[in-house]
Structure formats: C-alpha cells, structure tokens
C-alpha cells in the first residue's frame, strides 16, 4: 500500500500508537521476521507497532507482529475486504508459544536438510513453516528436476507426528521468501509488494534502450528484473507516436533520416546527407513533412510529359469498338498441326 492509495477521508494517527474508537484501522503485519509485509484491518482501539497480535487466517488464528499503522476509516474499504483481520492482542502465554514455534521451525529446517543429504536428494531447502496449532508443517524447497521425497516424508512424520507437506517452488519465489536488496539499493520488489510474477522478456529491455548485459538486467534470482515491466507500456506507446528509425523526413527543405528515438523526452536524432547529426525536439519533428517518394506523381514534371503520351478519350473508345466488331481470325496453324484440312 502506497501513500497515493490512502483515501482523502482517512485519518492518520498523530502518534501512530493508537487508533480511533469505532473506526477501522489498517496496518502492516509480518507473520515471520524477515518475510514480506501484508495489510491487515482491525477495529481494536489500542494498537502499537511491534506488538504481537492474533490474526484470523484460513488455518485459524496465527500470531503476527505489527510493523506500522497506516490510517483509520469510518467504514472498511471494499478493496481490502480480503485482508486478514486482527482479532485481538496476543496473551503472554501465546507470546511464549510463538517464540517456541520459531525455534521449532529452525530445528526442523536443520533436521530436514541433514536427512535430505543422507538420502542424496538433489534439492535445496528454503524455509519451514509450522502452524500455530501444530497441525501441519510445510517444507519449501527448490530443485531442477522432480524429486522422490517419499522416504523423507516418512522420516519427518515419525519425527514430528504431524501432517507434512513438501512444496516445490521456483527461483523467483525462493528470492521472494529470502528477501534482499536489488541493484537499485532498495528492498526487492518481490519481497516487499509484488503479489504476481508477470512474464518478462528481453524485448522489454530493448524497447527501453537498456544494456543487454545479463549482469545489469538480471535480479538476485538470475532471472530478468521484474521492474522491466513497470514502464514498458509507456515506452512502447511513446515509440508508436514517433517516426521510426530509418524514416526520411523533410526539415526546412532538407532531407534527413531518423537514427534514434528518445521516448522519455520525445526527441529524435536525425542525420543529414552531409553526415551532420542533429537532435530534434518533439515540436520540431512534428512540423516536418515526409518527402515525396521517387517516381510519385507529385515529383513528376508536367513539361517533361509528351503530348502524345495520352490519347484522346474519343479515339480510345473508337479503337476499342473497332476491335470488338472485327471477326476473330481462323487459327489455321493449330488446325494444320492436328492433321485436319480446313473447310472453305
């Protein structure tokens, strides 16, 4: 959620510590330290950043840490109806259970990794999640090929006496879980706000005039940067409105050829026949005219056309009428080749 998404009727708490009574408060929460934040809503009156709260999820109540209060509204927003709901503040006992839960996840991570090495499984463990009620554990891993982890699941079930799920993820989701900093120096987009991974192609980098060096257009996941999609549509639409490279323009009676486009500024780099180059602003190249093509009617001289080139309309009509009235000539040659004598 960005500042531009905050409605005008929203009220931001002055001290960011408490929310107004009878209003809906939106805040950022994290279920685990180091993973991405999500937006949650609550009607609690007193709520502070960094406090442990109980959130209603599909698996039941799960503990989470509040990171920041955003704003309050008289009524919940329709676009955030699917957000998790903060039911209440966590008790002291639930706080101790939450700390014990984090320790269990770390121990399960080490145990599963060691067992996978003993079984010679070609997989890389990323993270382990355990439900607060202990009813299920999810092991996230990456692998280039399909992994037969049936024996590993049996060992984990005997060890933890709960439901075990092995979930294979891609390299992008792995980077999303682990987090980090991008080439821009900011937190990774996938670990901060992206919900869906859009398809990215090398064409997007070409349209935006970016260097095609893999080290400069690839992210921590060794895939093309997700941010290549942010301004791609703007660049593509801007280039459609501009003359393409190679097109010939007529600038104040002089012919020039387009060499390069600058979609952000709307300017063009053109070259003249004498080899001189010039940058044309958007106002300048919009005033230019396309020169007539060689051999077109516009470039033909009326004096160079002979008078007898076009016959009069009346004579042309008479000639066609005479040709239509003339009887067809017999094809004696073809009949002689067939061996028959024409009848007179």
Tens-digit pLDDT string for the chain (344 aa): 444 454 444 444 444 444 445 577 788 888 887 778 888 888 887 778 888 999 988 888 999 998 877 667 666 666 667 788 889 999 999 999 999 999 999 999 999 999 999 999 999 999 999 999 889 999 999 998 888 999 999 999 999 999 999 999 999 988 888 888 888 888 888 888 887 888 899 999 999 989 888 888 998 988 999 999 999 999 999 999 888 888 888 887 788 888 888 888 888 888 888 888 888 888 888 877 555 555 555 444 444 444 444 455 544 444 444 455 455 555 554 554 444 444 43
- Three-point CA angle 116, 118, 120, nearest 5°: 70
Domain boundaries, the chain: 3-90, 98-169, 176-232, 248-287
**In which region does residue 137 sit, left (phi positive, over 0), alpha (psi from -120 to 50) or beta (all else)?**
beta
**What is the reported pLDDT for 12?**
43
- Rounded to whole angstroms, how far apart are CA atoms 93 and 32? 18
Indicate the fold that domain 98-169 takes in CATH. GMP Synthetase; Chain A, domain 3 (3.30.300)
Calpha distance 57→69 (Å, rounded): 20
- Closest C-alpha among 223, 128, 143, 245 to residue 175: 223
pLDDT of residue 44: 80
pLDDT at 342: 45
Residue 47 neighbours by CB under 8 Å, 6+ apart: 18, 19, 25, 27, 53, 66, 69, 86, 89
- Indicate the pTM of the whole model: 0.67
């Amino acid at each position: 959620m960005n500042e531009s998404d905050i409605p005008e009727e929203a009220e931001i708490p002055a001290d960011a510590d408490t929310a107004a009574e009878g209003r809906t408060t939106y805040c950022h929460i994290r279920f685990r330290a180091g993973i991405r934040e999500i937006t949650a809503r609550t009607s609690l009156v007193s709520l502070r950043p960094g406090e442990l709260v109980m959130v209603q999820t599909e698996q039941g109540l799960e503990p989470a840490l509040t990171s920041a209060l955003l704003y309050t509204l008289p009524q919940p927003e329709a676009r955030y109806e699917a957000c998790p709901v903060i039911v209440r503040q966590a008790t002291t006992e639930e706080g101790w259970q939450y700390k014990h839960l984090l320790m269990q996840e770390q121990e399960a991570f080490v145990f599963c990794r060691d067992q996978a090495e003993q079984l010679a499984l070609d997989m890389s463990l990323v993270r382990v999640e355990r439900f607060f009620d202990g009813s299920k554990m999810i092991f996230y891993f990456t692998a280039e090929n399909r992994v037969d982890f049936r024996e590993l699941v049996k060992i984990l079930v005997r060890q933890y006496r709960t439901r075990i799920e092995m979930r294979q993820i891609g390299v992008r989701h792995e980077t999303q879980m682990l987090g980090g900093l991008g080439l821009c120096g900011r937190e990774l987009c996938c670990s901060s706000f992206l919900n869906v991974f859009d398809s990215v192609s090398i064409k997007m980098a070409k349209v935006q005039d970016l260097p095609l060096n893999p080290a400069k257009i690839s992210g921590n996941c060794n895939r093309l940067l997700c941010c290549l999609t942010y301004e791609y549509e703007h660049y593509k639409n801007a280039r459609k409105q501009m003359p393409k490279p190679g097109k010939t323009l007529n600038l104040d009676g002089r012919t020039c050829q387009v060499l390069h486009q600058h979609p952000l500024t709307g300017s063009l780099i053109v070259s003249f026949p004498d080899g001189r180059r010039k940058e044309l602003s958007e106002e300048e190249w919009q005033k230019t005219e396309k020169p007539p093509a060689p051999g077109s009617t516009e470039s033909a001289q009326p004096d160079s056309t002979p008078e007898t080139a076009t016959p009069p309309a009346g004579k042309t009509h008479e000639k066609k009428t005479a040709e239509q009235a003339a009887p067809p000539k017999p094809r004696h040659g073809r009949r002689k080749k067939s061996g028959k004598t024409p009848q007179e």
